[in-house]
Each structure stands twice: as C-alpha cells, then as structure tokens.
Chain A
Amino acid sequence: MPTPDEIRERIERAIPGAEAVVDGPDGVHFSAVVTSGAFAGRPLLEQHRMVMDVFAGELGGAIHALSVKTKTS
C-alpha cells in the first residue's frame, strides 16, 4: 500500500521542480497539490495528465483515486 510520502516523492522525481503536498489517510484515496513551474503555459488537462502519468496503470488499482490540484507558483 503506497504512503502519501511515496506518492509525493514519485511526483517530485517525475516533474521538474515540483513540490507536492500529498494527503491519503486511508492508503488508497490520495489528494495531491502539486506546484511546478513546468505547468506554466500548459492547459489544465495537460497539467493533470503530467501528474496522472506518474501513476499510469496504478490508478483504479492500488491507488483507488488521486485527486489533483496543480499550481505554477
């Protein structure tokens, strides 16, 4: 079962300059607020896709749900 800290590390490793705050008290539903300059100028859909892609294949499985909020600063 992934921990919020693992989710945070994986997001920060995958997205340049990202800082993530991840919450997931039950170990299967997570919410992440991700701040990265890499989101600047990209459509919201693409920003969210950058975060979702980190967990491709796991969403709906080990990670039941990942709620995402992206910020550029």
Chain B
Amino acid sequence: MPEQTDNPIRQAITEAIGENPVILFMKGTPDAPACGFSARTVAALQAVGAPFAAVDILPDPRIRQELTAVSSWPTIPQLFIKGELVGGADIVGEMYETGELAAALGVEAPADAPADAPADANPAFAPLSIENRLG
C-alpha cells in the first residue's frame, strides 16, 4: 500500500501510474483531445493497438501541477509505461516511427499501421478505460 499523504491528488496520480501499465495524462479525452499534441499521442497509441488508460488533466489545474512534481516533466501529454515516464508527443511520435513504441508496449504494430506517426486520433477506437478519479 502506498503511504498515506496529505496530498490526495499527488497520491491518486502515483497510484494511477502504478496501477495502469500504460497510462496517458492528456488534455481532453482520447475521444475528444483538447490539444494537438495530446491528439497525436493518442493517435500513435491507437495505431499501435495497445490499450491504455487516460487521464484528462484539464478539470483541475492541481492535476497538472502535481503530475509535473511527480515526473519532473513540464509539458502535457505525458505517457507512462510500467510506471516509467516515456515522454511527451515528440518522443512518442519518434518511438512510433522507429518501432520502439510497439516494442515498449509489448505489442506488434499492425501490418497496416502507417509508417509516419498519425496526425489525428481515430475517435472510433475506444481506450480500455478512462481512469479519472482525479477530476
């Protein structure tokens, strides 16, 4: 059990990172990303075909503040795989193109996946779960 702290938002964030093997902190939701960088990151994950949890950081500014305190990463989105920060939109896009993203996620990229990182999310592709106890 994680230690009880007097910072429930930070604790919820670290628990969500620990409990979900793939978790994306983003602006908006996978169905309705509120920022182009978040949209690109969702699209790359969907193209690889890996299920992921997603947290919308927009409902409360403290989510972003605490997330950055946990990760020491200044911008959104932030992708975590197996509890480790992987990076933001640029890193995820680059890893998608090199095949490292599929490898890190332990999946084989579908044969019809585009070689370049896709620009937009496919709203028809639902994520495994929306983990949003933080809003």
Contact = CB atoms under 8 A, between A and B. Distances in A.
Interface of A: 44-45, 48-49, 52, 55-56, 59-60, 65-69
B74 interface: yes
A54 to B, nearest CB: 11
Interface residues of B, number: 14
Among B73, B87, B89, find the residue whose CB has the most chain A CB atoms closer than 10 A. B87
B105 interface: no
Contacts of B94: 44, 69
Contacts, number: 32
Contact of B90 (A48, A55, A56): A48
Interface of B: 37, 72-75, 85-91, 94-95
Dominant SS at the A interface?
Answer: mixed
A67 B75 CA distance: 10
Nearest to A57: B74
B91 A48 contact: yes
A17 B86 CA distance: 26
A69 B87 CA distance: 12
B87 A44 contact: yes
Contact of A52 (B37, B74, B89, B95): B74
